[in-house]
Amino acid sequence: MAFFKSILSKLKQGLEATRQTLTRGLRSLILGRQLDDALIDDVQRMLLEADVGVEATQRLIDRARADFKAGTLRRSEDLLAHLKAHIKELLSSSAAVAGGAVGGGGAAAAVAAGAGGASAGAGSPVGDAASAPRILSPEFRLAPAAPTVVLITGTNGAGKTTSIAKLAHMFRRQNKTVLLAACDTFRAGAVRQLEVWAERLGVEVVKGQQGGDPAAVAFDACKAAVARGVDVLILDTAGRLHTQDPLMRQLGKIYNVAGKLIPGAPHEALLVLDATTGQNAVRQAQEFARFSPLSGLILTKLDGTAKGGVVIAIRQATSIPVKFIGTGETPDDLQPFNADEFAEAMFSEEA
């Protein structure tokens, strides 16, 4: 817990500088202007340019316009707070919730996803309080008994290996032992890339043969994690496009192998999503979740100019929450997701 506090203070420091620019976009837009249709049009433009997507943008804009017409939203100064509140709402409720089918906010959805993961484990007593995943924070769930298994998935070039290094670093700072599994047996240099990080961070790597079966590496790694009594096992997988059926099935196999050896594993199955990705990210999340039920997203490359607004559409379509954001290339550049700050950043302009 103390760890997350320290992370949070770091995040605040980091964001202090950005916050100036964050709101400058919208603030300068609002400056000296009355709230009117033209201003709302400008906001619509910002949302579209943040990759929020046509549909979710329409929802947000319709809300703002309706409240403006109804007289509940009068001053342009209140517009930002209005938008932030509704973006937060969209980020904490899924389409299913909006449709009135199921209840449950962010944390509850994460638990539900966890239960799905647990049921994949062979013979694990689902619903048993003792084996229910313990929630350390909304950001991350740990297994009731070590090892906690984390599966990292994503398309090519999303930033999986770098994100794994950051996660490993985070756990090391909590004095947890970490084992990495190099399940990317396909891409040239992938294993070596993970090894370099492991050397820098002082953690061990389980690897197989180049071109070998990644599920076999996952199997060996799970066994090794139990034998060595490590706290956290992180499985790195090859980047794959969600349209490649055989590769997606292979991912499902890795997911299942982990569950067979370690009850409830993987306890976290995270999709690494490049923040520059456009509307196709929704399909990505849906397809990856189909083969490896996802408990969350890591949104990477937010240190660029991309806003990653598509996570709103993803949340609406799939109920998968964002858990971490990546903001740089060093191991320290991983932060828990904060919907408030994220919403604010949406209306920023780079200096």
Partner 1 sequence: MFDRLSEGFSNVLRKLSGQSTISEGNVREALEDVRKALLEADVSLDVVNEFIDGALKDAHGREVTKSLKPGQEMIGIVYDRLVALLGDAPQIPENATQEEAAKILMADGPGIMTISPGPTIVMMCGLQGSGKTTTCGKLAGWLKKRGRSVMLVAADLQRPAAVEQLQTVAEQVQRDMPGGAQVLFYAEPEKTAEYGKAVGVAVGVCQRAVAAARAKGIDTVILDTAGRLHVNDSLMDELQQVNRLVQPHQVFLVVDAMTGQDAVKSAKAFHQRLEVDGLIMTKFDSDTRGGAALSVKHITGAKIRFVGLGEKLDALEEFHAPRFAGRILGMGDVVSLVQKAREQVSDEEAKAMEEKLAKGEMTMDDYLQQLKSLRKMGPLKQLLGLLPGIGAALKDVHIDDAQLDRVEGMVNSMTPAERKKPEVIDFKRRKRISTGSGTKHEDVGNLIKGFTTVGQLSKQFAGMSASDKVKAVKSLGASGGAGSLAPGLSGMPGFMRGKGSSHSASPKSAFKKKRK
Query: Among 107-115, 139-147, 172-180, 268-276, which window interacts with partner 1 (CB under 8 A)?
Result: 268-276
Cα distances from 25 to residues 70, 117, 240, 318, 344, in angstroms, run 26, 41, 36, 30, 10
- Interaction between residue 278 and partner 1 (CB under 8 A): yes
* Contacts of 184 by beta carbon, 8 Å cutoff, 6+ apart: 160, 161, 190, 191, 194, 214, 236, 237, 238, 239
Query: Among 10-18, 68-76, 134-142, 155-163, which window interacts with partner 1 (CB under 8 A)?
Result: 155-163
Query: Among 34-42, 65-73, 211-219, 238-246, which window interacts with partner 1 (CB under 8 A)?
Result: 238-246
Concatenating the DSSP letter of every residue in 95-159 gives HHHHTTS----HHHHHHHHHHHHHHHSTT--TT-GGGSPEEEETTEEE-SSSPEEEEEEESTTS-
Give dist(CA 334, CA 272) in Å, integer: 12
The interface mask with partner 1, positions 283-302, x = CB under 8 A, is xx----------------x-
- Interaction between residue 306 and partner 1 (CB under 8 A): yes
Cα distances from 163 to residues 150, 239, 271, 298, 334, in angstroms, run 12, 13, 11, 8, 8
| Contact residue for partner 1 among 48, 111, 135, 201 (CB under 8 A) | 48
Cα distances from 117 to residues 4, 122, 162, 243, in angstroms, run 25, 11, 24, 23
Query: Among 25-33, 69-77, 111-119, 157-165, which window interacts with partner 1 (CB under 8 A)?
Result: 157-165
Q: Which is nearer to partner 1, 301 or 315 (CB)?
A: 301
Give dist(CA 211, CA 219) in Å, integer: 16
| Contact residue for partner 1 among 110, 179, 281, 343 (CB under 8 A) | 281
Burial label for 224, CB within 10 Å (0-12, 13-18, 19+), is middle
Q: Which is nearer to partner 1, 155 or 318 (CB)?
A: 155
Residue 16 sits at φ, ψ, to 5 deg, of -55, -50
Q: Minimal distance in Å, beta carbon 45 to partner 1? A: 6
Q: Minimal distance in Å, beta carbon 229 to partner 1? A: 28
- Interaction between residue 21 and partner 1 (CB under 8 A): no
* Contacts of 179 by beta carbon, 8 Å cutoff, 6+ apart: 147, 203, 204, 205, 206, 221, 224, 225, 228, 230, 232, 233, 234
Q: Minimal distance in Å, beta carbon 33 to partner 1? A: 20
Q: Minimal distance in Å, beta carbon 261 to partner 1? A: 28
The residue count of the chain comes to 351
- Interaction between residue 315 and partner 1 (CB under 8 A): no
Q: Minimal distance in Å, beta carbon 238 to partner 1? A: 9
- Interaction between residue 89 and partner 1 (CB under 8 A): no
| Contact residue for partner 1 among 2, 38, 101, 188 (CB under 8 A) | 188
- Interaction between residue 276 and partner 1 (CB under 8 A): yes
Q: Which is nearer to partner 1, 131 or 276 (CB)?
A: 276
Binding residues (CB under 8 A) for partner 1: these are 45, 48-51, 53-54, 155-159, 161, 186-190, 192-193, 195-197, 200, 241-244, 274-281, 283-284, 301, 303-307, 310, 329-330, 350
